[in-house]
Amino acid sequence: MQNKEIVIYDTKEGMQAHQELFRLPASVYLNLTLLKEPIVQRDLSLNSSSNLRQSFYVSIIGMIGKINTLPYPYNLTIHFVLNWELMSRLATWCFDRTLERDLIDLLSDIGIINIYDINSLKDATIEEVFLFLLNNYKFGVLRKVCQIARDNIVGLIEIKSFQVLCHIFSNHTKTIVASSL
């Protein structure tokens, strides 16, 4: 059985960091902004409209639909190399509204940060939550978010022989800081 890999990334820096770690050929990398249905703008910041968040969702669903139509004689590995906000959206499956409350609920539900941390983050922005986790070496939390995002995607893919790997790329460190591996 043939092996195939696809890497979906949101920034060139994220792609480069992934390529340094995994040594995959450039031909397997697909920029999220280039997915044809619809085109997603690169910066999905907190000021983005609901339409852009929905576009990200539709792009992911459209890409998974295309994957589900691929022929079966191979093993497929799909990597998602995304920034914290996009990975958090996959983990919470929150595309139609702001993310802060859903993310704090997720972090609380998975029980890997304490109540003091939750209370200090309740009014934080998505970026502030990420920096808190990163600066306090809470890599287990970041890894768990990747694993939940992976599980959400796996639930949508119908082909039999596949693996999904999710990686959070940090613009602050210019590295992949967490993975579902």
SS (H, E, C) 36-103: CCCCCCCCCCCCCCHHHHHHHHHHHHHHHHHHHCCCCCEEEEEEEEECHHHHHHHHHCCCCCCCHHHH
pLDDT at 42: 36
Q: What is the pLDDT of residues 3-59, one digit of tens each?
A: 788 899 999 999 999 999 999 999 999 887 765 443 333 333 434 444 545 566 677
What is the C-alpha radius of gyration for the chain, rounded to an integer number of angstroms? 16
Whole-angstrom CA distances from 113 to 46, 133, 168 are 23, 9, 18
Residue boundaries of the structural domains of the chain: 2-98+139-179
pLDDT value at 155 more than 50: yes
The model's confidence at residue 108, banded by pLDDT at 50, 70 and 90, is confident
pTM, entire model: 0.82
Query: Any idea which residue has 């191979």 for tokens?
Result: 74
| pLDDT for 65 | 73
* Token reading at 3: 């092996």
The per-residue pLDDT for 134 is 93
**132 has a pLDDT exceeding 50:** yes
